[in-house]
Structure 1
Amino acid sequence: MLAGAALTGAAPAGAVPRGDERASGPVAPGVQYRYFDVAGSHGEARVHMLDVDLRDPRTSVGLLYPGKVAARAPVSALADGAGAVGGINGDFFNITETQHPGVEATGAPVGPAITGGHALKGAVPNGQRFGPAMPPGVTTEAVLGVGYDRRARLDRLTLDGWIRTKGARLPLGGLNQYALPVGSVGAFTGDWGSASRVRTTCGTDTNRGAPCSTDTHEVTVRDGRVVASADTPGTGPIARGTTVLV
């Protein structure tokens, strides 16, 4: 089984207009803090911002996550654990399953994630997203990334992968995601964690609250061979070198 992900066609991120700046000052080499107020439809909002000079070799920007895709931790704890100057909550997450009673919420994020060049997960279908409506033209594949050239980018991250068998080559529909496209096959690795994989079969590409499918199957693959099979997705950690297909 082979899976891959890539950022393509990325352009450097641009600046956004600022309101009246109230405070500014350095917090670390190459990092400036500022806050300012902006007017919104429901009143004034305060914006806290860190300016990071990526041209400064003493700075770096990376992904904060709790070690597994399907896991949870406060942003403050993740930033402290990484020794980071600051951190932001950059996604929405599967933290509740009131629409599917009895199904475990995974805690996994909506969008794709790569850290240090390693693909952790793909994006769930647009209709499976938690959070407010997305702006026109935006999809769950939208990402903020920093390239090897140390330039920030706003772009889309797509999953390109397949599953090879003796008689077929099947497209890969997802990687370590809490929701998969209808009729597809998703791969789960040790990066997923120990959360139940049942949620991946609930909802549709356009309706997050649709019932969970009963037409499901799961196989565990190790060293190119199927070592376990089940009619429903399972739970528990996935050993290194093992892939679970749902």
Structure 2
Amino acid sequence: MPLSLFDFLSGLTHLSVFDFLRGITHLSLFDFLSGLTDLSLFDFLSGLTHLSLFDFLSGLTHLSVFDFLSGLTHLSVFDFLSGLTHLSLFDFLSGLTHLSLFDFLSGLTHLSLFDFLSGLTHLSLFDFLSGLTHLSVFDFLSGLTHLSLFDFLSGLTHLSLFDFLSGLTHLSVFDFLSGLTHLSLFDFLSRLTHLSLFDFLSGLTHLSVFDFLSGPVLLQHVSVNLIIAWI
């Protein structure tokens, strides 16, 4: 009888290694991860106190934590992340006090954390993030008191965290964030009293975190006050 990964891993509450999944083309991630209460792709690194992330990721030209999902055409992202209450992709970095994020991302020319979603034409992003109460993709940076964010993003020419939304013609961005009570992509900056935001973004030629809102044909019902609150 074929192995059921659902049964095999059904007792797990914390999963921290996904790379082996790439070759399992018939895997159903819904079943495979249905028992998880915490998604922590790289949390195991936090225990490697001697790790140099510069060396670890120095060969990367594109950061694609979830890119492998784009080939799983039957995946339901609603189900995949439905149990999460806090999305913290890189929180483990907060414990690496000697890390230089300049080196960590110095080889990147395009930051695309969620680009894979653009190919999931049936995805409802309302469902995807409906359980979140706090979005903190970069909150861990607040504890790195010696970090220079100018260096951190100096190699980027296009910031496109949410650019994929522009191709989802039926998406309601109002619904997409309706469950959030705190949008904090860059809130951590308020605690970095020596940071110069001019320097922070000086290398960018296109800032598009919210550019997709400029033509909100489907967003006319969204409160202007809400949009202002986001920004």
TM bracket, shorter-chain basis: under 0.3
Between structures 1 and 2, the one with greater strand share: 1
Name the larger-Rg structure: 1
TM-score (norm 1): 0.25
Identify, as 1 or 2, the structure richer in helix.
2
TM-score (norm 2): 0.26
